[in-house]
């Protein structure tokens, strides 16, 4: 729904890293961030919906951009940590999905993982999302 509201096709929601963030509070921005790594590095498709925080005078936004080599290297380090099988920051998935939530799905280089959080994203998943957010304009 986030991508459709931002004017993107449903297929754009598929990638090696998929992040759905419906906020920390009831009026927060809804985000869909999808990352794919190619020979040139990490590229991101970003969609923001239903919030004045999406940008100046807009409530929906869609962008594509390449991450810096430094951000890409940090993402690779985070993926290596997640691949080890340890739950990020010792947090277990939350079974209750009322209000705000974060879903991170990874299907990269033979590694698959789903991480669901409510309320507290944790340092690792929060950093992954921050690294993939659009650069300041």
CATH number, domain containing residue 92: 3.30.1560
Tens digits of pLDDT across the chain (137 residues): 888 888 899 899 999 999 998 876 666 778 899 999 999 999 999 998 877 667 667 778 899 999 999 999 999 999 999 998 876 666 555 555 555 688 999 999 999 999 888 767 778 898 999 999 988 76
Write down the pTM of the prediction. 0.86
Q: Show the tokens assigned to 75.
A: 């993402």
Q: What SS3 state is found at 99?
A: coil
- Domain holding 53, by residue range, is 2-132
* Domain-embedded: residue 137: no
What is residue 93's DSSP assignment? P
102, part of any domain:
yes
Under a CB-based contact definition with an 8 Å cutoff, are residues 125 and 16 in contact? no
DSSP state of 73: H
Question: Is 36 among the domain residues?
Answer: yes
Q: Identify whether 69 is part of a domain.
A: yes
């Amino acid at each position: 729904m986030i991508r459709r509201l931002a004017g993107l096709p449903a297929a754009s929601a598929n990638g090696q890293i998929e992040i759905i963030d419906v906020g920390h509070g009831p009026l927060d921005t809804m985000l869909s961030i999808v990352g794919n790594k190619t020979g040139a590095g990490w590229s991101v498709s970003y969609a923001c919906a239903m919030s004045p925080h999406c940008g100046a005078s807009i409530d929906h936004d869609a962008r594509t951009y390449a991450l810096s080599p430094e951000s890409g290297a940090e993402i690779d380090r985070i993926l290596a940590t997640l691949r080890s099988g340890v739950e990020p920051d010792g947090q277990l998935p939350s079974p209750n999905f009322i209000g705000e939530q974060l879903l991170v799905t990874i299907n990269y280089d033979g590694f698959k993982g789903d991480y669901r959080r409510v309320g507290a994203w944790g340092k690792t998943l929060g950093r992954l999302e921050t690294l993939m957010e659009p650069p300041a304009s």
